[in-house]
Amino acid sequence: MIKIMHRLMRVTGKYKGRIRASYITAFLKGIMMKVPLILCFICISMFMQGQMDKTKCIYLGIAALAGVLLQAIFEHASNVLQSAAGYMVFADLRLKLGDHLRKLPMGYFTEGNIGKISSVLSTDMVFIEENCMGVLSELVTFLISQGLMILMMFVMDIRLGLLSLLIVAVFIIIGNLMLKSTLEHSSIKQEASETLTEEVLDFAEGIGIIKSYNLLGEKSKKLTDEFQQSCKKSIDFEKAYSPWSRAQYLTFGVGTALVLAACAYLYNAGQISDIYMVGMALFLFDLFVSIKSYYGQMARLTVTDAGLDRIEEVFAAEELKDEGRKSLSDLSSDESSVPEIEYDNVSFGYTEKDVLKNVSFSVNKGQMTALVGPSGGGKSTIASLLARFWDIKNGRILVRGADIRDVSLGDLMDQISMVFQRVYLFQDTVYNNIAIGRPDATREEVEEAAKKARCYDFIMKLPEGFDTIIGEGGASLSGGEKQRISIARCILKDSPIVILDEATASVDADNERAIQEAISELCKDKTLLVIAHRLKTIRDADQILVVSDGKIIEQGDHASLMNENGTYAHMVLLQAS
């Protein structure tokens, strides 16, 4: 229990002082909780001894009222210090997680970790935030209250005190065994929750394919099976917890009966007074409530422990190193001897197997370089490595003569704009989706970028114009409209290097014309790296690289490659036919 509490404290960061201060208020609250009971015992004993008068009765009443009020004050202070701090802790932790995720290589997100991230954010953090951060001070309260009750037993009779202490020891033994059992099942329960989250995401993202191929029954069964499996693991958790919970209730009942029997025996033997017998009747049914409540929080804290494991696992994922200190804006790109982009014997693999093998080429400032070739050859990988979505295995990628690993990620991305076939728009206003390109841009600049991207007219036809909120992923817009908004982002950003995964590959003829016009605006005076699918669009490229099986097998402009009558010429003839 102490270990779990210590783990919770480790994530509190700058709010640790507030949490610790809440322990003090919890300590005082624990004392105040027993003050009315103790005063009641004093009052009864004074009545029985004939020592009570009006003044003493008033003083005791005022003291009892003060105890209740102080208890409420300390509880409020504890909640303000701890529960509020808990929400702030996890607000900061979510921001920290977001910062961590953006520094991870893209490979982390393609290796089945989306469900883990979603589960950590929507399940683990929420559970700990809502159920456990407010429990820490309560645990302190329970311990203090239990200590006071045991102390009162020793005041009445040392034998009653020892018996009470023995029963508390039995509670602790059962509680520790319960902790060991439920910790194991908590981990399994949370893993089942993660698997379920992955399956729900997979089902939701693929619903179009599932419906079009009439796989609702098959896929729904798989999803239903995951729900049932998650349900089973949750029930298994409760089954593992229940016997120990029953054992604690049994200990509570038997322990209370034993203390009452011992007290009655001592009273009949004349070894304790009738005053203490009455006091025993007052204290008896509150004697083990605190320790029972303490271990009643066990299930929450074991789930918390499993949740913390998963949170720490995500944070443990290795970030791309961002130790570069060079600034590309300080490096001149006007010298003809220094290419704007250069790949020098670059090798890379997502796993042990290399996807790219000793790739070398250079791109001068203002030039257009097209990457063509069969699917799976490595075109997109070449482009993604320039943006440092992953780090290369061997070789170097240079921008203006500087290794991109020696440049800060932020500075590198300031120099690069990217337009992909698959566009993602956020559930936000059209304006904000474009302004992502340059958040400090004025409204006039955003609107001008929209005009250049040929999306101003259709934006103005939306219900609220630029302030229209579009669906998640841009669901309320057509593919061509989404593509033009993404191009508007890049125009607004105005980076000198543009990576273009040919945006017109899967749109209709009307949208293709508008998108080509938008791309022409985007690419003015820029250095282009284009992944080409329609070969007619790259005939005027300064150089064309034919990529196959992770290697550049042909290189040159359109005319020279057609004269070679190799792979490129064959691809052109196939598309023409």
Domain boundaries, the chain: 2-316
Residue range 304-340, pLDDT digits in tens? 777 888 888 888 888 888 887 787 776 655 555 788 8
In this predicted structure, what is the pLDDT of residue 541?
A: 85
* Topology annotation, domain 2-316: ABC transporter transmembrane region fold (1.20.1560)
Number of H helices, E strands in the chain: 22, 10
Tokens 């691809």, residue located:
571
The torsion angles phi and psi of 361, rounded to 5 degrees, stand at -170, 165
577, HSE (Cβ side, Cα atoms, 13 Å): 6
Query: Would you state the pLDDT for residue 210?
Result: 65
Residues sharing a CB contact under 8 Å with residue 241, sequence separation 6 or more, in sequence order:
178, 181, 182, 185, 298, 299
Residues paired with 501 in a beta bridge: 531
Whether residue 56 is predicted with pLDDT greater than 80 in this model: the reply is yes
Q: Per-residue pLDDT for 219 more than 70? A: no
- How far is residue 86's CA from residue 133's CA, in Å, rounded to a whole number? 5
Q: Coil, helix or strand for 345?
A: strand
Listed in sequence order, the residues at least 6 apart from 425 whose beta carbon sits closer than 8 Å to its beta carbon are 433, 470, 473, 474, 477, 482, 485, 486
Whole-number pLDDT of residue 336: 54
The CA–CA distances, whole Å, from 285 to 37, 167, 228, 261 equal 12, 14, 41, 13
Q: What does the pLDDT average to over 536-553?
A: 87
Which has the minimum average pLDDT: 83-97, 266-280, 503-517, 554-568? Answer: 503-517
Tokens matching residue 154:
């020793």
Q: What does pTM read for this prediction?
A: 0.65
Please state the length of the chain: 577
Other beta carbons within 10 angstroms of residue 10's beta carbon come to 10
Paired tokens of 463: 């219900």
DSSP structure class, residue 469: B
Average pLDDT over every residue of 72-82 = 83
Residues with Cβ < 8 Å from 417, sequence gap 6 or more? Answer: 437, 489, 490, 493, 494, 495, 497, 498, 499, 522
Contact 389, 381 (CB under 8 A): no
Give the pLDDT band of residue 196 (cuts 50, 70, 90).
Answer: confident
Q: Which residues pair with 417 in a beta bridge?
A: 498
How confident is the model at residue 343, as a pLDDT? Answer: 92
Q: How far is CA 16 from the centre of its chain?
A: 21
- In sequence order, the 6+-apart residues with CB closer than 8 A to the CB of 377 are 547, 548, 549, 550
10 Å CB burial of residue 475 (0-12, 13-18, 19+) is: exposed
Share of the chain above pLDDT 90, in %: 7
Q: Which residues of 162-177 are buried (b: 16+ CB within 10 A; e: fewer)?
A: ebbeebbeebeebbee
pLDDT in the model for residue 396: 92
pLDDT value of position 454: 86
pLDDT at site 73: 92
pLDDT of residue 342: 92
Identify any residues that bridge with 394 across adjacent strands, giving them in sequence order: 347
Whether 504 shows a pLDDT value over 70: the answer reads no
Q: Which two tokens stand for residue 464?
A: 């609220």
Q: Which two tokens stand for residue 91?
A: 């607000």
Is it the case that residue 571 has pLDDT exceeding 80? yes
CA distance 233 to 275: 52
**Contact criterion met (CB below 8 Å) for 151 and 100:** no
Mean of per-residue pLDDT scores for the chain: 82
Q: Which of 23, 37, 38, 36 is nearest to 141 (CA)?
A: 23
Phi/psi at 398 (5° precision): -110, 140
* Residue 69 pLDDT > 90: yes
Rounded CA separation 44/218 (Å) = 72
Q: Which of 20-34, 330-344, 368-382 has the lowest mean pLDDT?
A: 330-344
Q: At what angle do helices 289-296 and 298-316 cross, to 10 degrees?
A: 30
Residue 21 pLDDT: 83
Torsions phi, psi for 357 (to 5 deg): -130, 105
pLDDT interval class at 495 (50, 70, 90): confident
Q: Which tens digit of pLDDT belongs to each residue from 407-435?
A: 888 888 888 888 877 778 888 889 998 99
Between 177 and 545, residue with greater pLDDT: 545
Q: Please tell me the predicted confidence (pLDDT) of residue 334.
A: 54
How far, in Å, CA of 309 to CA of 187, rounded?
8
Using 50, 70 and 90 to split pLDDT, how confident is the model at 70? very high
Q: 187 CB contacts (<8 Å, ≥6 apart)?
A: 306, 309
Q: Report the run of H or E that residue 568 belongs to, with start and end.
A: helix 567-576
Question: What is the model's pLDDT at position 232?
Answer: 82
CB 492 within 8 A of CB 449: yes
Cα torsion 277, 279, 283, 287: sign: negative
Write out the two tokens for 377. Answer: 């050859």
Beta carbons within 8 Å of 461's beta carbon, 6+ residues apart: none
Q: Residue range 229-235: average pLDDT? A: 81
What is the Cα 243 distance to its own chain's centre? Answer: 34
Percent of the chain with pLDDT over 70: 90
pLDDT at 352: 73
pLDDT digits (tens, 9 = 90+) for 92-147: 888 898 888 888 887 777 666 777 788 788 888 888 887 776 677 777 778 788 88
